[in-house]
Amino acid sequence: MKDLQFYLELEDKEWERAGEQKDRHCARAIVVDDLEQFYFVQITRDDLFGCGTYIETAGGGIEESENAEEAVLREVKEELGIESELLCKIGIVSDYYHALNRHNINHYYLCKVKSRGEQELLDYEKNDFNMKVLTLSYEEAVKLYESQTDKKLGRLLTNRELPILKIAKKWLDEHK
């Protein structure tokens, strides 16, 4: 697996910084199948970030007992119900959620679908976020990311993930 070296540092320009930012290492995935369909989670929330429905990549915190590669495969299985394989590490996006006093260090991977099953969601993912799987073409995903920029959280998510999706698509096109 040849890693890409992409790095992006983003500031939270949506909420005011109100305290010390705690670091959180996350593993996130652009997931694609043989037909070049991409898999995302759709979240619907009404909380301190506001009310809205958003698209984002599968992913979450890296647990103490695992490395980033193990974490991303686990997160893809839990949130999308997909067993996957790593194609490459795309890079890191460092971003901030001032509303949570959090600095995320997001390790992004490109993963290929091996098999599909059922989501293994936590209660808050089911009940608070109404998390669903979206299967989209590249063009559909770009349009959805762009359409959610009318809300603060949508802008944070799109700024973090749309550049990663574009890099993943370029990598896939070069490795056909």
Instruction: List the structure tokens of 129.
Output: 């976020």
Task: Please give the domain boundaries of the chain with CATH numbers for all domains.
Answer: 6-174 (3.90.79.10)
Residue ranges in the chain modelled with pLDDT below 50: none
Q: Nearest-CA neighbor of 137 among 94, 172, 96, 89?
A: 172
pLDDT digits (tens, 9 = 90+) for 87-134: 999 999 999 999 999 999 999 999 999 999 999 887 888 877 889 999
pTM assigned to the model: 0.94
C-alpha distances (whole Å) from 174 to each of 32, 71, 131, 169 are 15, 27, 32, 9
